[in-house]
A and B are shown apart, each in its own frame.
Chain A
């Protein structure tokens, strides 16, 4: 038996192994430490992050003092539209604990204008969430809270409030549910009002709230007294074209406003579609810029001024034949209260003679072609008025400037413009002859746009005399506010209806300016279908309908606008008085 004897391997020293194990142990401890360090670092980083994030959140949760929509103020800084955190009252109908019928009754007791049935319908709607009121006063919120119903909550909402209620409602407009403008300034300046850069600065309008309120009040009184369909009134600064007041009656309250649905009409294809809303049917319509009227005799000063500039009328004493109507193209031009005499220009204006105006326009056309059309175009009668509002009516301009169109346009027939067109034309007529585009935004002295000359300064001066004469001795007497030197022209236009012009539905106008020795403001008031007042039954002329409105307005507001009554001061019209044979009684 062989035996293999293997020499056992020589064992090496264990010391290095021990060292290795120590190193390994150290390594593990180090690893553990590193891990702990990493965890600590992560935790620290997380803490820092939470701190930073919380800071950022704290910054973002601070309510910004800048409103989400800029305020609108008048030219003196009186707020007309502001944003506030208002109260709303909302309900979770599916979580109501108390008796719904009793709750509806109690809500009706707090809000009497809304019936209990309406509240009951909301409470029973089964929705998850519904408004009870979009706008509520703090006192109402407290009262509803006292009902103790847990399903009712009171969210605070950004809302647009018009503190002056219906004041200048047509001009300012309103905001829709989505917070964007639906009409007027709110609509046309929507971008400016919501722009982050400008939101902190209120938008200053050109209107003066005192003048606006006075004109509104006088016009509402006038329209009520006359049982008229409506009225439009505008006050312009003659030197800048700024709108000082713009009133359309009937008016509305933009705080509680629901856009009415237009009437449905059947189209040519047989389908029903939304029809066009006429101004007569809707208080929303801004008659100053959205309604066009054939304004009648108030055009005569414009056409006569054009003839003066063209050198056709050079002599105030020249007589024109107004003894009989003019027959032209199967159409007769006649005067309303025909005197059947020869008249000069001052007499023609005082008696408001269509025949003389037509004769002068005819002479003008023969001498200088379509000069009248050119002047009317310069006054922008052939296009929508220049103003920063989206609501604008197109004008009615003759298809062809024929001889007859020229003659009728001279006394305001066959051509229809908005009251604002007329006001800006009168501003040019009295301010020395310069036409300015109108503006609803306050203009600083350097911002007034360059105007354009339409009439010569001499013609403008003469027209000031003639307009003052009409108020002192003619049809405008009822508008003569003592000491304020008002000058004006009255106008009565017949409204076109089915089958021609209606004798009984008139549009009456009083186009005035004051003070005539140094004109500063133009006031135009147009009334739609006055029926006559109790004091003067059946009398529907401008002298008895719109002139008293202007007189009351001027007396109330003149001093506030820097025009003081001065009985000893007036424009000199003594050279014209002999031509009209002293005082004329033409009321």
Chain B
């Protein structure tokens, strides 16, 4: 009886020892896992620090002044003018400077100039004269850039040519008359396409889109 009692106490000791050992093993396991987590956290932090360093390096190398220097030297973008911003779809639609239906459409003057082999400046310089002389003020020339649908824009360059060289106007009209209706339509389409795809127009449309 006594022997059994003694054995029991040894059993208790063994059970407790085994329990303690198991608990210790569990805690070891937990510690290992915890260390792995810590190592991972450390890695995350160091990666974050690296990202931060690289971000800073990137923004330092591509700082605004540096970009401005590159632009001045190589890219040469300039500030868009007031005329390149459009306020409404109506203004966008009136950009192609096509007459409303029914009227014969004039070919773009630059094309006419090329067909005639005339020096381009002669056609372009008068266009720059934004404030025309009094007699032609009522031809709608001055409002071309800010044209609205209410007052359709006329082909401004024709007016301009008329101002600068009155004798040049009949020649262009004659040229226009010679063009067959089908060609004229193709020309209209080409003109519309050229105007809409012009970098200036696209630039303005993008500016509008990002408002």
Contacts and interface: CB of A to CB of B under 8 A. Distances in A.
Given A79-B55, A481-B82, 19 more contacts: A55-B31, A55-B34, A58-B38, A62-B41, A62-B45, A63-B45, A63-B46, A64-B45, A79-B59, A84-B53, A85-B53, A161-B60, A164-B63, A210-B64, A213-B68, A217-B65, A556-B79, A559-B80, A565-B85
Contacts of A78: 59
A566 B87 contact: yes
A552 B78 CA distance: 11
29 contacts: A62-B45, A63-B45, A64-B45, A65-B49, A82-B52, A84-B49, A85-B53, A163-B59, A163-B63, A164-B63, A164-B64, A164-B65, A165-B63, A165-B65, A167-B63, A209-B64, A213-B65, A216-B65, A482-B81, A483-B85, A552-B79, A556-B79, A559-B85, A564-B87, A565-B81, A565-B82, A565-B85, A567-B145, A567-B146
A59 B34 CA distance: 11
Interface of B: 31, 34-35, 38, 41-42, 45-46, 48-49, 52-53, 55-56, 59-60, 63-65, 68, 79-83, 85, 87, 145-146, 207, 211
Interface residues of A, number: 37
A415 B187 CA distance: 67
A13 interface: no
Nearest to A82: B56
A188 interface: no
Given A62-B38, A65-B45, A213-B68, A564 B63 contact: no
A567 B91 CA distance: 13
Interface of A: 51, 55, 58-59, 62-65, 78-79, 82, 84-85, 161, 163-167, 209-210, 213, 216-217, 481-484, 552, 555-556, 559, 564-568
Nearest to A51: B31
Nearest to A161: B56
Contacts of A58: 35, 38
A164 B146 contact: no
Contacts of B64: 164, 167, 209-210, 213
A549 B148 CA distance: 32
Nearest to A567: B146
A548 to B, nearest CB: 13
Nearest to A59: B38
Contacts of A165: 60, 63, 65
A164 B59 contact: yes
A555 B82 CA distance: 8
B96 to A, nearest CB: 19
Contacts of B145: 567
Q: Give the top 3 A-B pairs by smallest Cβ distance, nearest first.
A: A483-B82, A565-B82, A163-B59
A555 B84 CA distance: 12
B60 A63 contact: no
Contacts of B55: 79
Contact of A84 (B35, B56, B211): B56
B134 to A, nearest CB: 16
A556 B48 CA distance: 36
Nearest to A216: B65
A161 B34 CA distance: 35
A565 B82 CA distance: 5
A441 B4 CA distance: 83
